[in-house]
Amino acid sequence: MSLLGAGTLIGRSLVIRGEVSGSEDLYVDGSIEGTVTLSAGRLTVGPNAKVKADVQAPEVIVMGDLDGNLRSEGKVELRDKSAVRGDILAIRLAVEEGAVLRGRVDLRGPEEKAEDASPAVEESSLFQHQ
Amino acid sequence: MWKPNQPGNVPTSTPEPIRPTPPATGYEPAAARTPASSPAAATTGEQATIGKSLVVKGEVSGSESLFIDGKVEGAINLPGNRVTVGRNGQVAANISAREIVVLGKVRGNCQASDRVEIRSEGSLTGDVIAARISIEDGAFFKGGIDIRKPGGTDAKGGPAVVEKSEPVAAEA
Protein backbone atom coordinates (compact mmCIF):
# COMPACT_ATOMS: atom_id res chain seq x y z
CA MET A 1 0.00 0.00 0.00
CA SER A 2 1.73 3.09 -1.12
CA LEU A 3 -0.55 5.79 0.10
CA LEU A 4 2.05 8.42 0.24
CA GLY A 5 3.71 8.05 -3.11
CA ALA A 6 2.59 11.18 -4.89
CA GLY A 7 -0.64 11.49 -3.02
CA THR A 8 -2.12 13.77 -0.50
CA LEU A 9 -2.07 13.54 3.25
CA ILE A 10 -4.47 15.53 5.35
CA GLY A 11 -2.97 15.20 8.77
CA ARG A 12 -4.68 14.69 12.07
CA SER A 13 -4.88 18.30 13.10
CA LEU A 14 -5.94 19.64 9.75
CA VAL A 15 -9.44 20.91 9.11
CA ILE A 16 -10.76 21.53 5.62
CA ARG A 17 -14.13 23.10 5.01
CA GLY A 18 -15.14 23.01 1.40
CA GLU A 19 -14.62 21.02 -1.71
CA VAL A 20 -11.75 18.64 -2.20
CA SER A 21 -11.20 17.10 -5.60
CA GLY A 22 -8.38 15.48 -7.46
CA SER A 23 -7.06 12.40 -9.16
CA GLU A 24 -4.59 10.86 -6.76
CA ASP A 25 -4.52 8.92 -3.54
CA LEU A 26 -5.87 10.88 -0.64
CA TYR A 27 -5.30 9.94 2.96
CA VAL A 28 -7.39 11.87 5.42
CA ASP A 29 -6.63 11.69 9.09
CA GLY A 30 -8.03 15.09 9.92
CA SER A 31 -11.39 16.71 9.37
CA ILE A 32 -13.15 17.45 6.14
CA GLU A 33 -16.55 19.06 5.90
CA GLY A 34 -17.93 19.41 2.42
CA THR A 35 -17.35 17.10 -0.48
CA VAL A 36 -14.54 14.84 -1.57
CA THR A 37 -14.34 13.75 -5.18
CA LEU A 38 -11.51 11.71 -6.60
CA SER A 39 -11.58 10.77 -10.26
CA ALA A 40 -8.66 8.41 -9.76
CA GLY A 41 -6.85 6.98 -6.82
CA ARG A 42 -7.90 5.76 -3.45
CA LEU A 43 -9.51 7.61 -0.62
CA THR A 44 -8.49 6.47 2.84
CA VAL A 45 -10.32 7.79 5.83
CA GLY A 46 -7.78 7.29 8.58
CA PRO A 47 -8.49 6.15 12.13
CA ASN A 48 -8.43 9.67 13.50
CA ALA A 49 -10.39 11.20 10.66
CA LYS A 50 -13.73 12.92 11.00
CA VAL A 51 -15.18 13.31 7.56
CA LYS A 52 -18.55 14.95 7.16
CA ALA A 53 -18.88 14.85 3.45
CA ASP A 54 -20.30 13.03 0.52
CA VAL A 55 -17.36 11.20 -0.93
CA GLN A 56 -16.73 9.68 -4.29
CA ALA A 57 -13.64 7.77 -5.34
CA PRO A 58 -12.70 4.70 -7.34
CA GLU A 59 -11.64 2.99 -4.14
CA VAL A 60 -12.45 3.85 -0.56
CA ILE A 61 -11.06 2.52 2.70
CA VAL A 62 -12.64 3.71 5.91
CA MET A 63 -10.93 3.31 9.24
CA GLY A 64 -12.40 6.32 10.99
CA ASP A 65 -15.57 8.36 11.03
CA LEU A 66 -17.49 9.09 7.88
CA ASP A 67 -20.71 11.01 7.98
CA GLY A 68 -22.07 11.19 4.47
CA ASN A 69 -22.86 9.20 1.41
CA LEU A 70 -20.20 7.14 -0.20
CA ARG A 71 -20.01 6.34 -3.85
CA SER A 72 -17.38 4.26 -5.53
CA GLU A 73 -16.86 2.72 -8.94
CA GLY A 74 -14.83 0.04 -7.24
CA LYS A 75 -14.31 -1.37 -3.84
CA VAL A 76 -15.30 0.02 -0.48
CA GLU A 77 -13.71 -1.35 2.66
CA LEU A 78 -15.00 -0.62 6.11
CA ARG A 79 -12.34 -1.58 8.58
CA ASP A 80 -12.61 -2.42 12.22
CA LYS A 81 -13.53 0.57 14.39
CA SER A 82 -14.78 2.54 11.44
CA ALA A 83 -18.12 4.31 11.67
CA VAL A 84 -20.11 5.23 8.61
CA ARG A 85 -23.39 7.05 8.66
CA GLY A 86 -24.59 7.28 5.11
CA ASP A 87 -25.51 5.30 2.07
CA ILE A 88 -23.00 3.30 0.13
CA LEU A 89 -23.12 2.79 -3.60
CA ALA A 90 -20.31 0.60 -4.85
CA ILE A 91 -19.45 -2.45 -6.83
CA ARG A 92 -17.80 -4.35 -4.02
CA LEU A 93 -18.05 -3.89 -0.30
CA ALA A 94 -16.07 -5.43 2.50
CA VAL A 95 -17.11 -4.83 6.07
CA GLU A 96 -14.77 -5.95 8.77
CA GLU A 97 -16.04 -7.14 12.10
CA GLY A 98 -16.19 -4.19 14.44
CA ALA A 99 -17.20 -1.68 11.81
CA VAL A 100 -20.29 0.38 12.39
CA LEU A 101 -22.55 1.15 9.47
CA ARG A 102 -25.80 2.98 9.46
CA GLY A 103 -27.19 3.46 6.01
CA ARG A 104 -28.25 1.68 2.92
CA VAL A 105 -26.00 -0.32 0.71
CA ASP A 106 -26.40 -0.74 -3.00
CA LEU A 107 -23.92 -2.98 -4.75
CA ARG A 108 -24.07 -3.48 -8.46
CA GLY A 109 -21.98 -5.01 -11.15
CA PRO A 110 -19.66 -2.74 -13.07
CA GLU A 111 -21.81 -3.09 -16.19
CA GLU A 112 -24.94 -1.83 -14.46
CA LYS A 113 -25.56 1.81 -14.84
CA ALA A 114 -26.61 4.19 -12.13
CA GLU A 115 -29.87 4.91 -14.04
CA ASP A 116 -31.56 1.72 -12.96
CA ALA A 117 -31.52 2.68 -9.35
CA SER A 118 -33.46 0.18 -7.30
CA PRO A 119 -36.59 1.40 -5.48
CA ALA A 120 -34.81 1.01 -2.16
CA VAL A 121 -32.49 3.84 -2.86
CA GLU A 122 -34.11 6.09 -5.42
CA GLU A 123 -34.95 8.85 -3.00
CA SER A 124 -31.34 9.30 -2.02
CA SER A 125 -29.63 12.22 -3.62
CA LEU A 126 -26.51 10.10 -3.89
CA PHE A 127 -27.98 7.98 -6.57
CA GLN A 128 -29.21 10.63 -8.88
CA HIS A 129 -27.52 10.25 -12.16
CA GLN A 130 -25.34 13.00 -13.37
CA MET B 1 26.74 47.68 -4.17
CA TRP B 2 24.27 46.38 -6.70
CA LYS B 3 25.54 44.65 -9.72
CA PRO B 4 23.10 44.32 -12.56
CA ASN B 5 22.40 40.83 -13.69
CA GLN B 6 24.55 39.69 -16.51
CA PRO B 7 22.39 39.37 -19.59
CA GLY B 8 21.70 35.76 -20.37
CA ASN B 9 22.39 34.89 -16.80
CA VAL B 10 18.84 34.87 -15.57
CA PRO B 11 18.87 32.83 -12.39
CA THR B 12 15.43 31.36 -12.78
CA SER B 13 16.67 27.87 -13.31
CA THR B 14 19.20 27.80 -10.52
CA PRO B 15 18.72 24.83 -8.28
CA GLU B 16 18.10 25.17 -4.58
CA PRO B 17 20.70 27.54 -3.31
CA ILE B 18 22.46 26.90 -0.07
CA ARG B 19 20.68 28.88 2.56
CA PRO B 20 22.34 30.37 5.55
CA THR B 21 19.21 29.73 7.56
CA PRO B 22 18.80 26.23 8.95
CA PRO B 23 16.05 24.50 7.01
CA ALA B 24 16.47 21.55 9.29
CA THR B 25 13.21 19.88 8.44
CA GLY B 26 13.41 20.59 4.75
CA TYR B 27 10.75 21.92 2.47
CA GLU B 28 9.90 18.72 0.72
CA PRO B 29 6.65 16.97 1.51
CA ALA B 30 6.65 14.36 4.19
CA ALA B 31 5.88 11.93 1.44
CA ALA B 32 9.25 12.53 -0.09
CA ARG B 33 11.06 11.97 3.14
CA THR B 34 9.28 9.10 4.75
CA PRO B 35 9.32 5.84 2.87
CA ALA B 36 5.90 5.03 1.52
CA SER B 37 4.53 2.28 3.65
CA SER B 38 1.38 1.35 5.49
CA PRO B 39 -1.43 3.80 6.16
CA ALA B 40 -0.46 3.81 9.80
CA ALA B 41 2.87 5.32 8.87
CA ALA B 42 1.12 8.14 7.10
CA THR B 43 -0.35 9.38 10.32
CA THR B 44 3.05 9.76 11.87
CA GLY B 45 4.23 12.13 9.16
CA GLU B 46 4.51 15.57 10.62
CA GLN B 47 3.65 17.44 7.49
CA ALA B 48 0.35 17.32 5.71
CA THR B 49 0.53 17.35 1.96
CA ILE B 50 -1.83 18.48 -0.72
CA GLY B 51 -0.68 16.66 -3.80
CA LYS B 52 -0.28 17.85 -7.32
CA SER B 53 -3.67 16.90 -8.68
CA LEU B 54 -5.65 17.95 -5.67
CA VAL B 55 -7.93 20.96 -5.61
CA VAL B 56 -9.23 22.33 -2.34
CA LYS B 57 -11.90 24.99 -2.45
CA GLY B 58 -12.55 26.30 1.00
CA GLU B 59 -10.86 26.77 4.27
CA VAL B 60 -7.85 24.88 5.51
CA SER B 61 -6.89 25.21 9.13
CA GLY B 62 -5.10 23.26 11.80
CA SER B 63 -1.91 22.93 13.73
CA GLU B 64 0.56 21.10 11.55
CA SER B 65 2.79 22.11 8.74
CA LEU B 66 1.37 21.89 5.28
CA PHE B 67 2.97 21.34 1.93
CA ILE B 68 0.84 22.39 -1.01
CA ASP B 69 1.68 21.07 -4.43
CA GLY B 70 -1.88 21.30 -5.72
CA LYS B 71 -4.46 24.06 -5.78
CA VAL B 72 -6.03 25.79 -2.85
CA GLU B 73 -8.69 28.45 -3.17
CA GLY B 74 -10.09 30.02 -0.06
CA ALA B 75 -8.15 30.51 3.12
CA ILE B 76 -5.25 28.86 4.88
CA ASN B 77 -4.95 29.28 8.57
CA LEU B 78 -2.11 27.50 10.33
CA PRO B 79 -0.88 29.81 13.04
CA GLY B 80 2.20 28.34 14.60
CA ASN B 81 3.15 26.20 11.62
CA ARG B 82 4.75 26.34 8.26
CA VAL B 83 3.03 26.54 4.92
CA THR B 84 5.12 25.57 1.92
CA VAL B 85 3.76 26.19 -1.52
CA GLY B 86 5.61 23.74 -3.73
CA ARG B 87 6.77 24.28 -7.27
CA ASN B 88 3.49 22.98 -8.65
CA GLY B 89 1.39 24.69 -6.03
CA GLN B 90 -1.16 27.31 -6.95
CA VAL B 91 -2.74 29.12 -4.10
CA ALA B 92 -5.45 31.75 -4.33
CA ALA B 93 -5.97 32.33 -0.66
CA ASN B 94 -4.99 34.47 2.22
CA ILE B 95 -2.40 32.63 4.23
CA SER B 96 -1.78 33.01 7.90
CA ALA B 97 1.01 30.96 9.41
CA ARG B 98 4.21 31.11 11.36
CA GLU B 99 6.32 30.59 8.30
CA ILE B 100 5.43 30.77 4.64
CA VAL B 101 7.72 29.47 1.92
CA VAL B 102 6.74 30.05 -1.67
CA LEU B 103 8.18 28.04 -4.54
CA GLY B 104 5.01 28.10 -6.61
CA LYS B 105 2.31 30.68 -7.18
CA VAL B 106 0.43 32.55 -4.51
CA ARG B 107 -2.27 35.14 -4.95
CA GLY B 108 -3.39 36.48 -1.64
CA ASN B 109 -2.23 38.21 1.45
CA CYS B 110 0.34 36.49 3.59
CA GLN B 111 0.68 37.03 7.28
CA ALA B 112 3.48 35.24 9.05
CA SER B 113 4.35 35.56 12.70
CA ASP B 114 7.88 34.60 11.79
CA ARG B 115 8.96 34.75 8.20
CA VAL B 116 8.01 34.76 4.58
CA GLU B 117 10.35 33.40 1.99
CA ILE B 118 9.86 33.67 -1.74
CA ARG B 119 12.23 31.43 -3.64
CA SER B 120 13.57 32.28 -7.04
CA GLU B 121 10.98 30.17 -8.83
CA GLY B 122 8.17 31.45 -6.65
CA SER B 123 5.61 34.12 -7.29
CA LEU B 124 3.62 36.07 -4.75
CA THR B 125 0.96 38.65 -5.49
CA GLY B 126 -0.42 40.17 -2.35
CA ASP B 127 0.51 41.99 0.78
CA VAL B 128 2.94 40.52 3.22
CA ILE B 129 3.04 41.07 6.93
CA ALA B 130 5.91 39.28 8.64
CA ALA B 131 8.74 39.67 11.09
CA ARG B 132 11.22 38.69 8.42
CA ILE B 133 11.05 38.37 4.71
CA SER B 134 13.38 37.12 2.08
CA ILE B 135 12.84 37.39 -1.63
CA GLU B 136 15.29 35.48 -3.68
CA ASP B 137 16.76 36.86 -6.84
CA GLY B 138 14.47 35.92 -9.71
CA ALA B 139 11.32 35.64 -7.64
CA PHE B 140 8.18 37.49 -8.63
CA PHE B 141 6.55 39.70 -6.07
CA LYS B 142 3.84 42.28 -6.31
CA GLY B 143 2.30 43.84 -3.26
CA GLY B 144 3.06 45.58 -0.04
CA ILE B 145 5.46 44.55 2.66
CA ASP B 146 5.02 45.31 6.30
CA ILE B 147 7.84 44.05 8.47
CA ARG B 148 6.73 43.86 12.04
CA LYS B 149 9.38 42.93 14.53
CA PRO B 150 7.90 40.99 17.39
CA GLY B 151 7.17 43.32 20.26
CA GLY B 152 9.22 46.07 18.70
CA THR B 153 8.47 49.30 16.90
CA ASP B 154 7.72 48.56 13.32
CA ALA B 155 8.64 50.79 10.40
CA LYS B 156 12.25 50.04 11.27
CA GLY B 157 12.68 48.47 7.91
CA GLY B 158 12.76 51.91 6.35
CA PRO B 159 11.98 52.07 2.67
CA ALA B 160 11.01 48.44 2.53
CA VAL B 161 7.95 49.12 4.62
CA VAL B 162 4.87 49.94 2.65
CA GLU B 163 2.10 51.06 4.92
CA LYS B 164 -0.87 50.13 2.86
CA SER B 165 -1.29 49.15 -0.71
CA GLU B 166 -4.45 47.92 -2.32
CA PRO B 167 -5.16 44.46 -0.97
CA VAL B 168 -5.29 41.67 -3.42
CA ALA B 169 -8.52 39.80 -3.56
CA ALA B 170 -7.83 36.17 -3.02
CA GLU B 171 -10.13 34.64 -5.54
CA ALA B 172 -9.69 32.28 -8.38
CA distance A73 to A110: 7
B130 within a domain of the structure (yes/no): yes
- The pLDDT of residue B22 is 41
Contacts 24+ apart (CB under 8 A), B125-128: B125/B168, B126/B94, B126/B167, B126/B168, B126/B170, B127/B165, B127/B167, B127/B168
B60 within a domain of the structure (yes/no): yes
Contacts 24+ apart (CB under 8 A), A65-73: A69/A103, A69/A124, A69/A125, A69/A126, A71/A126, A73/A110
Q: Does B38 touch chain A (CB under 8 A)?
A: yes
B88 within a domain of the structure (yes/no): yes
Mean pLDDT within A92-115: 85
- The pLDDT of residue B31 is 41
Q: Does B30 touch chain A (CB under 8 A)?
A: yes
CB A86 within 8 A of CB A67: yes
- The pLDDT of residue A85 is 97
Mean pLDDT within A36-61: 96
CA distance A41 to A60: 9
Q: Residue B111 CB: number of other CB atoms within 10 A?
A: 19
From the CA of B37, how many Å to the nearest CA of chain A?
A: 6
- The pLDDT of residue A109 is 75
Q: Is the CA virtual torsion B152, B157, B158, B159 positive or negative?
A: negative
- The pLDDT of residue A91 is 95
- The pLDDT of residue B132 is 95
Which residues of A lie closer than 8 Å to B, measured between beta carbons? 1-27, 29-30, 34, 40, 44, 46-48, 61, 63
Residue A16 has pLDDT above 80, yes or no: yes
Query: B120 lies in which domain range?
Result: 44-147
From the CA of A17, how many Å to the nearest CA of chain B?
A: 5
Q: What's the total number of domains in chain B?
A: 1
- The pLDDT of residue B8 is 45
B53 within a domain of the structure (yes/no): yes
DSSP letter (8 states) at residue A25: -
DSSP letter (8 states) at residue B52: T
B78 within a domain of the structure (yes/no): yes
CB A46 within 8 A of CB A64: yes
Q: Does B49 touch chain A (CB under 8 A)?
A: yes
CB B86 within 8 A of CB B102: no
Share of chain A above pLDDT 70, in %: 79
- The pLDDT of residue B47 is 82
Q: Does B61 touch chain A (CB under 8 A)?
A: yes
Residue A105 has pLDDT above 70, yes or no: yes
- The pLDDT of residue A118 is 47
Share of chain A above pLDDT 90, in %: 77
Per-residue pLDDT of chain B (172 residues; tens, 9 = 90+): 455 554 444 444 444 444 444 444 444 444 444 333 333 334 344 689 999 999 999 999 999 999 999 999 999 999 999 999 999 999 999 999 999 999 999 999 999 999 999 999 999 999 999 999 999 999 999 999 999 987 765 444 444 444 444 445 544 4
Selecting from B34, B46, B50 the residue whose C-beta is nearest the C-beta of A4 gives B34
Which residues from A are below 8 Å from B42, CB to CB? 3-4, 9, 27, 29, 44, 46
Q: Does B43 touch chain A (CB under 8 A)?
A: yes
pTM greater than 0.90 (yes/no)? no
DSSP B114-167: EEEEE-TT-EEES-EEESEEEE-TT-EEES-EEE--TTS-S-TTGGG-----PP
